[in-house]
Amino acid sequence: MKKILLISTSLFISISAYADCSNTKTSFEAQKCLNQEVKALKTQLNATYKKAYETTSAKEELDNAQKQWLSFKEKQCGDFVVADTQGSPATVEYDLTCQSILYKQRIAFLKELFNQ
Q: What is the pLDDT of residues 2-55, one digit of tens each?
A: 444 344 444 444 444 556 788 888 888 989 999 999 999 999 999 999 999 999
Specify the pLDDT at position 102.
98
CATH architecture assignment, domain 2-113:
Up-down Bundle (1.20)
pTM: 0.79
Q: Where are the domains of the chain?
A: 2-113
Q: What is the pLDDT of residues 100-114, one digit of tens each?
A: 999 999 999 999 999
Q: DSSP for the chain, please give it.
A: -HHHHHHHHHHHHHHHTS--GGG-SSHHHHHHHHHHHHHHHHHHHHHHHHHHHHH-S-HHHHHHHHHHHHHHHIIIIIIIHHHHHTT-TTHHHHHHHHHHHHHHHHHHHHHHHTT-
The CA distance from 96 to 40, in Å, is: 12
